[in-house]
Amino acid sequence: MLKVDAVFEKLERSAARYRVPSVSQKSLTQGRPFKILIATVISLRTKDAVTGQASRRLFSRASSPSKMAALTEAQIRHLIYPAGFYRNKAVRIRKICRILTEQYEGRVPKTLEELLELPGVGRKTANLVLTEGFGLPGICVDTHVHRIANRWGLVKTKTPEQTEMSLRKILPPKYWIVINRLLVTWGQNVCLPLSPKCSLCQLNKLCPKIGVFRRR
């Protein structure tokens, strides 16, 4: 089993040299948690660079739930294109903004249960809003966190939700908020899905590389 403190200490230092994921960039998410919520919806199945560009275009046109709800679906589609599934996302974004405006006085709810009631919002998005937007406890598990936590042997799970529940039991609370930012950064740049760059990884000697059959 990895020594968690040693791993996160090395990871914090090493990840600083790489670009922060779009949904964690302060230049993009000022005015959080609303911008984190919308940027994360846009980010699903979309490359990080496209997410950043699409989110900035949308926020430059509408920076609040009421302003965004006033846009048409066609306008939102145009602004977030070419994000993956941009048509469906435009529908969801407009519905989310109408709900926030009509039911929450233009504010983003601060509980996991309420966030999960919003259209198209799953546990990954809800936890990211809680942690990055409000600084509240939560573990946001996306494909990178799920993959790397299993490679490290911290968990042995088949789905991101199983990974989240397992990490909640074993991961010290001080790492809950930062784990997504660090592992997404590492997963995008070093610990790739196929042929990870183990020779460049500061954790190379510590990592058991579970399930890794080819590496660089």
| Residues 107-141 pLDDT 10s | 999 999 999 999 999 999 999 999 989 999 999 99
Q: How far is residue 21's CA from residue 1's CA, in Å, rounded to a whole number?
A: 28
Predicted local distance difference test score (pLDDT) of residue 29: 63
Nearest to 149 by CA among 116, 129, 176: 176
Domain span holding position 146? 4-18+139-200
pTM of the predicted model, to two decimals? 0.90
In a domain, 35, yes or no: yes
- When pLDDT is cut at 50, 70 and 90, the band that residue 22 belongs to is confident
- When pLDDT is cut at 50, 70 and 90, the band that residue 26 belongs to is low
Domain check: are 123 and 158 in the same one?
Answer: no
Q: How many domains in the chain? A: 2
CATH number, domain at 14? 1.10.1670.10
In a domain, 117, yes or no: yes
67 labelled catalytic:
no
**pLDDT tens per residue, range 27-71:** 566 668 999 999 999 999 999 999 999 999 999 999 999 999 999
Predicted local distance difference test score (pLDDT) of residue 88: 97
Q: Which of 10, 48, 110, 124 is catalytic?
A: 124
Predicted local distance difference test score (pLDDT) of residue 58: 97
Domain check: are 129 and 30 in the same one?
Answer: yes
- When pLDDT is cut at 50, 70 and 90, the band that residue 89 belongs to is very high
Q: How far is residue 144's CA from residue 160's CA, in Å, rounded to a whole number?
A: 9
Domain check: are 126 and 162 in the same one?
Answer: no
Left if phi > 0, otherwise alpha if psi is -120 to 50, otherwise beta: which for 209? left
Q: Which of 3, 47, 67, 142 is catalytic?
A: 142
Domain check: are 127 and 26 in the same one?
Answer: yes
In a domain, 10, yes or no: yes
142 labelled catalytic:
yes
Q: Backbone phi, then psi, for 117, in 5-degree steps?
A: -80, -15
Residue 56 exposed, middle or buried by CB count within 10 Å (0-12, 13-18, 19+): middle
In a domain, 168, yes or no: yes
Q: How far is residue 84's CA from residue 144's CA, in Å, rounded to a whole number?
A: 18
Domain check: are 81 and 158 in the same one?
Answer: no
